[in-house]
Amino acid sequence: MPIGLLLMRWDVKVSTEILAKYPDELVISEETLMQIYAAHEYTGEPGMISLLVGPLNIASYYTGREKPLYIILLLNLDEDADAYEGGLSDISRVIFQNYEDKAFLEMIPFLFQRLSTYPNLNMEQSLSITYIDEVNRLIINRLREEGVITKSELKIWLKDQYREGFFDVDAILMELIKKEIIKETSVKGMPSELIFLINDMFMIRRPPIKLLKNPSERGLPEQFVDDYNVEVRKFFQKYRPSEEDNLKIVDEIIVDPQVYEILRLLRISIVTKNTLEKLRKKGVDDIDAGLKKLWDNQMIHVFQDNKGNEYYALLTDFHSSLVYPKYMLKIIIHQYEVKSKSNGVLLEYLNVLDNSYKPVKAQLAENKED
């Protein structure tokens, strides 16, 4: 668990200036801040550095000379600073999006909590953090249309498309590579590396199937079982998937560690408020606020018996996963017919897709045997 988070900028008149820190009692010397500044100045590049200063294990993210900020994460000595690089890049864009009106100041505790969980995120949380970022969505949507683009062209296009603030293209692409959404490779005769889409992102609401199989065994009184089925059916009769709905769920529920803990419990049980209170041991400080977010997003339904007991049941669950982009084969055929991409690039893309499909094929074969 990290020790604290600090946001710093360099001012020629006053040297280092701390803009925000969490927790409030966090102490770091001026000398250490100068060492962090000097280390970034030595590299001269945006991005993360890690360094040990006495008993401090530090991961520091520099946003570049255009809008220079230093996002400093203090870690325990046994923690791996590199595990937080993607998270620091992620929150840097959140800070810039809320920088002009200083709204980021109130977000620092939440961002620290979000960053603290980064190395231990499950697949759902990890994909959600990728999905919620506008730059990531721009890249993925462009690749959905073309499949492959040169890295140099992508960088130019992104700077034209995204004018909201700082972003580190290389760090973003590295995270997408790690998550097996894209692949970067070289092709003879091409002036720049190529970026290929190898897995698409799929997000959608779905019914809480496990709970619906036997609600009474999951904690719902028998008198409400039929009503529960009716409420779920009513919701999905009107439900229409949309990016706006996905983004709202991801932003307010999946990437919020406290609300996500409530969701995880509700995926396996239908519970009373007393049971939810036990989540305080897992760091969920505001149960009511979490339930309100779930209610406002039409994720839960509440049943009340004649004694006033309330039962919180999942109305709709949420699914996120990577999916193999079969549709890309039609795009490749079209590009071949209209000569919009060279044969060498298209052949390489087919090889890349074939290699990325092999694990999928093996898994399908294994499932058939089971």
User: pLDDT by residue (tens digit) across 256-315?
Assistant: 989 999 999 999 999 999 999 999 988 898 999 999 999 999 999 999 999 999 999 999
Homologous superfamily in CATH for domain 4-117: Longin domain (3.30.450.50)
Of the spans 43-57, 114-128, 298-312, which averages the highest pLDDT?
298-312
Beta bridge partners of 223: none
Residue 86 has pLDDT above 70, yes or no: yes
Residue 132 has pLDDT above 80, yes or no: yes
Residue 316 has pLDDT above 90, yes or no: yes
User: pLDDT by residue (tens digit) across 216-262?
Assistant: 999 999 999 999 999 999 999 999 999 999 999 999 999 998 999 99
Q: Give the burial string for 191-225 (b: 16+ CB within 10 Å, else e).
A: eeebbbbbbbbebebebbeebbeebeebbbeeebe
- At 317, list the tokens: 């669950």
Nearest to 87 by CA among 120, 56, 109: 120
Fold of 127-199+325-369: Arc Repressor Mutant, subunit A (1.10.10)
User: pLDDT by residue (tens digit) across 320-342?
Assistant: 999 999 999 999 999 999 999 99
Domain edges within the chain: 4-117, 127-199+325-369, 203-320
User: What is the predicted pLDDT for the residue at 369?
Assistant: 61
What is the rounded average pLDDT for all residues in the chain?
A: 91
> Binning pLDDT at 50, 70 and 90, where does residue 164 land?
low
Q: What is the DSSP string of 224-252?
A: GHHHHHHHHHHHHHH----HHHHHHHIII
Beta bridge partners of 300: 314
User: What is the predicted pLDDT for the residue at 65?
Assistant: 77
User: pLDDT by residue (tens digit) across 20-35?
Assistant: 999 999 988 899 999 9
Contact between residue 344 and residue 189 where contact means Cβ atoms under 8 Å apart: yes
Same fold, 127-199+325-369 and 203-320: yes
User: What is the predicted pLDDT for the residue at 15?
Assistant: 80
Fold of 203-320: Arc Repressor Mutant, subunit A (1.10.10)
